[in-house]
Chains A and B, each alone.
Chain A
């Protein structure tokens, strides 16, 4: 802190002298904005404005240094001149983009693996609640999705190159400034994000590399200028879509068409009641700067979102500070500090049916299914309940009366020291600590008819300790360039959990802050502790010969505590070759081809993302009954001493091509990933073994992912006033279950209360992962003879009932007639960004889409079930007089998983349009600021899709059937998602 104050002092009270005015131009006489102008050996400095102009207080004898990325730094002695004009020459070696890789960085042209890079400009094209979202549609082969539509504070899932796992977490490893497994900083604080995709790039992270690695670099202070920046934005949000449901009269008529039903007095549009206009405010304040010896960056960020569903909001306060100090010529020290506090007020969405009183505890699915002829309250002031089907509270009550609050405190610090032992040998050691303290409070008042009140408070504290130590060695051997890295790493994570709950509190006013006021018998406490360690040795060798031939070899040996006795350690090697053909004599002077490189890599990475203690045999404790006051014990699970890592064997072939001085640059990548020893929590023993936890982790088989990725960037028009650039990326992935030791895996992700037909997907040898599983719908039975190959269910065998394919031709539809009925895997995904700039105006248009993935519309399964409100389509249901329809007759049937509810989920979406304006320098000067930018943008303004549900970007995982309930295998299910939002956003950026 003292250092920072010092820096302030020095810049504010610079020495006497006079003001020098200058202009900085490039070789084409175009002004260069943002050039650092610094008085040597001082901290006095400034930067050029948009017109390349600067003013700086100097005195005779000073030397000023002008520096800018991609240009050769120039020093100019001050001899009393009042104005200067400087032309900076381009630096061919620096022009090259530098890309962060594991434990180091490399010139982009020297990369032999597959790495996608997203820079700060793209990150901030529009305001983001989560920085992860910036990767969507911008990095080929990286699929990014909110886990719950537009919910404030919803987690974001990232998938790199398909599903390399079915039962273990295969999210990419997030590494922030070298801290492995860190939480993502705010988008405004990020300088760049690199996604490492192939084994050559990820194998240095060994057992955690198979899901890909996202390397995040936060902003650092720049030499010589104190910059204070203020970003503020405000958005208005609304639902992007609504369902067309029956009103009260239509609903009563529908019910009366098949049973006695007395219409209620009200006419309520429940969607109207639970939706509102949402708002988002985001304010960021940062200051940064530095001298030759010390750089700093510090920022504070405040984000607040009121969701589009009543009573859902998210608030987050984030602080970040980076300090780097060159203590001596050889020693550099630095520290990153990150702290955040967030509060999420959630409404219940994405019902699993587990928590439901007879079903339906989430406001979204409730708003769809709840009867429209009931109001919010009964005459006696109590909340209404559904008039058909299971007794459920009304959605307004659920949205407003329940409290579901998560408070998270996140703190992380990482200290590093880098010491240059020799000119070409350095040692870096980092020591980091992070803690996540999360408190979840849940409260249900006694005003619910189905509730006597419930309150619980849970706390989870997770700490991480990380130490990494590595040597880096560089050598020039003839025409060759050798870089070697060797290191050791240790990480430990501990989690302490405790929670308490009670029911029937003395007063609803206590919320969850006085659990002692609950009824004695219903009080429950629990606590747990778990710990996990990983220790590793790693090394890398990069050799580049004559800037033409590139070799990368990495190896990591990991040992992790959460693996079984016999399988604690594993080695993950990789190798890659690159050939810069464009540097060969025959292409060196080619005017068209400015860059051509071939890349090939092969390597092994792992996945050990399972909780601790999974391989041990365990007993379970059951709470006491009154007769036996001591807790009772039974067998929980059997040991698996051979439980081991999932290993992914990945081949990558790539080509980079640059044409016309890289105005067109193209990257093509093909990959093939064989993942073996798949981890899956599955029933290995039959239920009659008597174990309480029948599903235990074991290694069950192999899957394969292969795919193709294209990234294309073009500078279409590039002149003084107008520029137009296009970035396009496209990726296709095909996956397949190669081997399943225990045969088909059939499981379900429908809400628990769907009861029969809960199974919704299958994993089967030779097929893609997670195909939909159900009956094949063949339209409505018209009575009389059955159409060939079809049959009816035993319980629904009247005219008007649904016909299905009779798979085993036994004349009856039952579970023997289930088959694959759809494929949720997308054929390809793509993103296309166009950036236009004209003078001070800039325009960003970003489309993103996916083609080919099918969706299982579980919402419709519920809405056509009879015991629920329905879509207006039900008015076209089969009747003896309306036989030409595909909708079976109105009546109560089981919730049927069938091809009737499978839809094409292809879409293309205008993800963002943003128009920005940078005020001209003469205007901003008058205002006393360096830069002023206003922008307006719109997100999700247009979506083109045939999908009939709310939104084709679905992410319902449901009850997941217990074991395989993860985004890896539960794909394309739609039920009770928080709706995707459409927003209009206004932003202001101010720089001093």
Chain B
């Protein structure tokens, strides 16, 4: 054979690619390609992103909820003694608490991810000039509502915080000091006003904010800022237009905690809607698992099989139950004091006989009944629950509370008494061992009538505590009305020690000069040393 043949072979073998080494990922999407054909769809994508983050475990499904639940006087540690929970419950939080700093299951980053996606949407929306203003602004309004909603949680929990708007440059933000709370509130109000202007009167789902949602949150923000006139005006506007906004009270309080009925109820104003589909912890709801009774078979999953109980992790102290009038229908709806453990019906005093890891106290029933018959995961997770962020009863009570402060007694009584009347009417329990039980009307809770301003204030805060029990409202009430010293004092609901599980209720280290605010996460201060810390941490 001739040599040239081999040379030919060698050349053939050695032909190789020459590359410019540019990366062009297919799976990952880059901002360049996403924005290259900017349209309303991209703005929608980011807006949806903001709302998708709200149904992640790290937000109201689990991590932030734990902080709000445990810090209130209504909820105590059940069985599991995770330190970050104990510290929230006992007011021994440090700046590295595992619910806010470091690790993957923290909620501070998640709230900012809601804000980040909303900012991208708003930024993208501003670039779209040809779009129909109303159509575009409706999408931007949803994004701005999401941003306001997220910052409203942060500012109430942390006070001064880094505020990033849609025009903030990251390079500036990483070195910026904390934004004063007052300025954060101004931005929240601006966002909500914009949202109120451009959102429609009604939406296809209460998981999307309508005009009333923006308005209700404005009322809530004003109430928090003690701007009672503004709060009253916002609330009154919603109440006066309840027909237009398709709002009203659900006649049976229990129906709010039944996912079939709550999906079509006109009471919710803004909900986090879980759909029974989850991707990991995205879209997975945990509250029924956290509050449910261990080995309790009274509720079923999507296939009609017993769901196997919850984890007895968030279990109220006994006093919450015993101090609550037994004739108040809301107590019956809020609590399970019986369980069906491995086929044996037990009262709460003997829950641990059915499962050593349960706790012998009544457990919260709002979430387990809501998840009943819908969950596709274990321990109620993957249910079709609606977590109420704002419902019409709250608008009525915000209005009443503000009216009372302004001395407008007629409106105050009229509005709050609609909520009281609904409770007195009783109803039919759905789900669990009491399914179908008819609860007759009762005299409790009585109407508000002829109370002086102080007594009205005291009572309405108590009624808010009961009406919205375990709906993540109570801590914010304690913080805005500075109720901590009483709530966590010797006569507080959690003051009686319960050691059956080794952890649980007991005296608190509540310090009013420190504990109305949480610490700024230490992980953030390490990266941006210009962030200062809240007092006492």
Hey, which bits of chain A sit against chain B, CB under 8 A?
Answer: 258-262, 327-328, 330-331, 357-358, 378, 380, 385-391, 415, 417, 419, 427, 429-431, 449-452, 467, 469, 488, 490, 492, 503-504, 519, 521-522, 524, 527-530, 533, 535, 559-562, 568, 612-613, 615-619, 621-628, 630-636, 638, 683-692, 694, 742-743, 748, 752-753, 755-759, 794-795, 814-815, 866-867, 891-894, 961-962
**A795 to B77 alpha-carbon distance, docked (Å):** 14
Residues on A with C-beta less than 8 A from B53 are 622, 634
A535, closest chain B residue (CB): B19
On chain B, the residues within 8 Å of A427 by CB distance are 10
In the bound complex, do residue B527 and residue A685 qualify as a contact, i.e. CB atoms below 8 Å apart? Answer: yes
Chain B residues near A616: list those with CB within 8 A: 23, 25, 28, 30
- A670 → B minimal CB distance (Å): 37
Q: Identify the closest chain A residue to B105 (Cβ).
A: A752
Compute how far the CA of A217 lies from the CA of B8 in the bound complex, rounded to whole angstroms. 28
Q: Of residues B29, B83, B119, B301, which shows the largest number of chain A Cβ atoms within 10 Å of its Cβ?
A: B83
Measured CB to CB, the closest approach of chain A to B216, in angstroms, equals: 19
Task: Select from chain B the residue with minimum beta-carbon distance to A452.
Answer: B378
- By beta carbon, the residue of chain A nearest B11 is A429
Contacts of A261 in B (CB 8 A): 356
Measured CA separation A469–B21 after assembly (Å): 20
0 or 1 for each of B296-317: is its CB under 8 Å from A? (1 = yes): 0000011100001001000000
Chain A residues closer than 8 Å to B23, beta-carbon distance: 561-562, 612-613, 615-616
Known: A417-B13, A452-B377, A866-B502. A743 touches B204 (CB 8 A): no
Specify the main secondary structure of chain A where it touches its partner. loop
A626-B207, A632-B52, A694-B109 known, 8 other contacts, Cβ within 8 Å: A391-B357, A613-B28, A623-B52, A633-B117, A687-B524, A691-B113, A795-B87, A892-B502
Bound state CA distance, A628 and B275, in angstroms?
A: 12
Q: Hey, which chain A residues are within 8 Å of B273, CB to CB?
A: 625-627
Specify which chain A residues have a CB less than 8 angstroms from the CB of B17 in the assembled complex.
Answer: 490, 492, 533, 535
A795 with B45: CB separation less than 8 A? no
Q: Is the CB of B9 within 8 A of A628?
A: no
**Residues from chain A with Cβ under 8 Å of B162 in the complex:** 686, 688
Q: Within residues 495 to 534 of chain B, which ones have a CB less than 8 A from any CB in chain A?
A: 499-503, 509, 521-524, 526-528
Binds A, one of B91-99, B243-251, B446-454, B464-472: B91-99
Contact B113 A690 (CB under 8 A): yes
Q: Does B255 contact A (CB under 8 A)?
A: no
Residues of B within 8 A of A330 (CB): 3, 6
Q: Which residues of A contact B19 (CB under 8 A)?
A: 490, 492, 533, 535, 561
Q: 5 pairs across A/B with beta carbons < 8 Å?
A: A521-B275, A521-B276, A522-B278, A633-B29, A752-B103
* Interface contact A743-B3, CB-CB below 8 Å: no
Q: Check B55 for interface membership: any CB of A closer than 8 A.
A: yes
In the complex, what residues of B have CB within 8 A of residue A490's CB?
Answer: 16-19
Q: Check A612/B25 contact, CB under 8 A, given A380-B342, A449-B308, A685-B174.
A: yes
Total of A-B residue pairs, C-beta within 8 Å: 307
Q: How far is the CA of A984 from the CA of B301 in the complex (A)?
A: 51
Q: How many Å lie between the Cα of A258 and that of B115 in the bound state?
A: 46
Interface positions of B (Cβ within 8 A of A): 1, 3, 6-7, 9-10, 13-19, 21-23, 25-31, 34, 41-42, 44-53, 55, 80-84, 86-87, 90, 92, 94-96, 98, 102-106, 108-109, 112-113, 115-117, 119-120, 161-162, 164, 170, 173-174, 204-205, 207-208, 273, 275-279, 282-283, 294, 301-303, 308, 311, 342, 352-353, 356-357, 376-379, 382, 499-503, 509, 521-524, 526-528
| Distance between Cα atoms of A519 and B375 in the complex (Å) | 12
CB distance from A786 to the nearest CB of B (A): 18
Give the residues in chain A near B92, CB-CB below 8 Å. 794-795
A617-B10 Cα distance, complex, nearest whole Å: 42
Shortest CB–CB separation between residue A449 and chain B, in angstroms? 6
B residues in contact with A262, CB < 8 Å: 352-353, 356
Contact of B84 among A568, A632, A755 (CB under 8 A): A755
Rounded to whole Å, the gap between the CB of A700 and the closest CB of chain B is 13
One of A430, A561, A635, A683 near B21 (C-beta < 8 A): A561
Q: Given A490-B17, A627-B51, A635-B120, decide whether A815 and B94 contact each other with a Cβ distance below 8 A.
A: yes
Shortest beta-carbon distance, B269 to chain A, in Å?
A: 15
Give the shortest distance, in Å, between B329 (CB) and chain A (any CB). Answer: 31
Please give the distance in Å from B55's CB to the nearest CB on chain A. Answer: 6
Q: How far is the CA of A685 from the CA of B171 in the complex (A)?
A: 9
Considering only CB atoms, which chain B residue lies closest to A685 in the complex?
Answer: B174
Given known pairs A390-B80, A689-B112, the reply for A452 and B164 (CB within 8 Å) is no
Check A814/B94 contact, CB under 8 A, given A259-B499, A624-B48, A628-B44.
yes
A417 to B10, CA, bound (A): 7
Shortest CB distance A88–B (Å): 36
Establish whether residues A625 and B279, one from each chain, have CB atoms under 8 Å apart when the complex forms.
Answer: no
A635 to B82, CA, bound (A): 31
Residues of A within 8 A of B276 (CB): 521
Partner of B528, one of A378, A530, A686, A814: A686
B274 nearest CB neighbor, chain A only = A625
Are A688 and B21 interface neighbours, CB within 8 A?
Answer: no
Docked pose: A430 CA to B16 CA in angstroms: 11
CA distance A736 to B313 in the complex (A): 44
Check if B174 sits within 8 Å of A535, measured CB to CB. no
Q: In the complex, what distance in Å separates the CA atom of A394 from the CA atom of B342? A: 18
Residue numbers in B under 8 Å from A358 (CB-CB): 80, 311
Min CB–CB distance B127 → chain A (angstroms):
15
Check B98–A632 contact: CB distance below 8 A.
no
Q: Which of B83, B116, B204, B207 contacts A755 (CB 8 A)?
A: B83
- A737 to B92 Cα, complex, angstroms: 34
Q: Which 9 A-B pairs have the closest CB atoms?
A: A690-B116, A756-B83, A632-B48, A687-B109, A634-B49, A634-B117, A892-B502, A628-B48, A528-B27
Rounded to whole angstroms, the CA-CA distance of A568 and B23 in the bound complex is 11
A residues near B115, Cβ cutoff 8 Å: 690
Q: Are B44 and A621 closer than 8 Å at their CB atoms?
A: no
For A628, what are the chain B residues with a Cβ–Cβ distance below 8 Å? 44, 48, 51-52
Q: Are A627 and B16 in contact (CB under 8 A)?
A: no
Q: Knowing A380-B342, A619-B29 touch, does A892 contact B524 (C-beta < 8 A)?
A: no
Q: In the complex, what's the smallest C-beta–C-beta distance from B122 to chain A, in angstroms?
A: 12
Do B378 and A450 have beta carbons less than 8 Å apart?
A: yes
Q: A815: which of B6, B7, B82, B96 is its contact (CB, 8 Å)?
A: B96
Query: Across the two chains, which residue of chain B brings its CB closest to A453?
Result: B378
Q: How far is the CB of A182 from chain B (nearest CB, A)?
A: 18
Q: Is the CB of A415 within 8 A of B13?
A: yes
**Candidates A627, A743, A758, A815; contact of B208 at CB < 8 Å:** A627
Once bound together, how far apart are the Cα atoms of A357 and B357, in whole Å? Answer: 14
| Closest chain A CB from B177 CB (angstroms) | 12
> Which A residue sits closest to B54, measured CB to CB?
A625
Asked whether A633 lies within 8 Å of B524 as measured between CB atoms, the reply is: no
A390 cross-chain contacts in B, Cβ below 8 A: 80, 311, 357
Q: Which residues of A contact B382 (CB under 8 A)?
A: 521-522
Q: Is the CB of A626 within 8 A of B524?
A: no
A794 to chain B, nearest CB (A): 5
| Interchain CB contact under 8 A, A634 and B113 | yes
Alpha-carbon gap, A590 to B283, bound state (A): 80
Measured CB to CB, the closest approach of chain B to A372, in angstroms, equals 14
List the A side residues contacting B526 at CB < 8 Å: 743
Among residues of B, the one whose C-beta sits closest to the C-beta of A466 is: B16
A892 touches B81 (CB 8 A): yes
Q: Given the known A-B contacts A357-B378, A892-B81, are A634 and B50 also in contact in the complex, defined by CB atoms under 8 Å?
A: yes
A686 engages B527 (CB within 8 Å)? yes
A451 with B378: CB separation less than 8 A? yes
Contact A469 B16 (CB under 8 A): yes
A757 vs B501: C-alpha distance when bound (angstroms): 21
B535 to chain A, nearest CB (A): 16
Complex contacts, A415 vs chain B, CB 8 Å: 13
The residue that B45 contacts in the complex, of A632, A794, A814, with Cβ under 8 A, is A632
Identify B112's interface contact among A391, A618, A638, A687, CB under 8 A: A687
A795 to B502, CA, bound (A): 12
Determine how close the nearest CB of chain A comes to the CB of B519; give it in whole angstroms: 11
